[in-house]
């Protein structure tokens, strides 16, 4: 792919991920991974890994804004953070050995359950 074309497609993909990630406080990866694969020519595992690197700075900025607006309780968040650190270490290690395509189907069912809960309660 031509270099300028990669820049344009990557910027559009990142912008879309930023819109979602700032608004919903997450979910940017769900938008980003398919775009990195279809528009930027990344293979699945590259797309998954690169999406983590892209979302990370977006989350730093968004978290700062949520904090300023009074919607981020640091003490309440602490145990989730500690768990997230341990989980991230494990996930990075086993990443190469996990059938991601199969996992995605399982996620989809959990996400639909979450959608149902959000829309009905």
With a CB cutoff of 8 Å and minimum separation 6, the contacts of 16 are 31, 32, 35
Supply the angle between the helices 3-24 and 44-68 in degrees, to the nearest 10: 40
Q: How near is the Cβ of 75 to other proteins at its closest, in Å?
A: 11
Q: 7-36: which residues touch other proteins (CB under 8 A)? A: 7-8, 10-30, 32-34, 36
Q: Considering the rule CB under 8 A, would residue 89 count as an interface residue with other proteins?
A: yes
Q: How near is the Cβ of 39 to other proteins at its closest, in Å?
A: 9
Q: Is residue 32 classed as helix, strand or coil in its secondary structure?
A: helix
Q: 47-86: which residues touch other proteins (CB under 8 A)? A: 47-63, 65-67, 69, 71-74, 76-77, 79-86
């Amino acid at each position: 792919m031509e270099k300028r074309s990669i820049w344009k497609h990557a910027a559009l993909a990142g912008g879309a991920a930023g819109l979602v990630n700032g608004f919903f406080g997450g979910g940017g990866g769900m938008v980003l991974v398919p775009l990195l694969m279809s528009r930027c020519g990344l293979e699945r595992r590259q797309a998954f890994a690169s999406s983590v690197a892209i979302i990370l700075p977006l989350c730093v900025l968004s978290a700062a804004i949520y904090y300023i607006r009074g919607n981020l309780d640091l003490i309440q968040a602490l145990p989730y953070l500690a768990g997230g650190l341990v989980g991230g270490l494990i996930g990075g290690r086993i990443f190469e050995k996990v059938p991601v395509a199969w996992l995605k189907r399982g996620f989809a069912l959990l996400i639909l359950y979450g959608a149902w809960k959000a829309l009905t309660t």
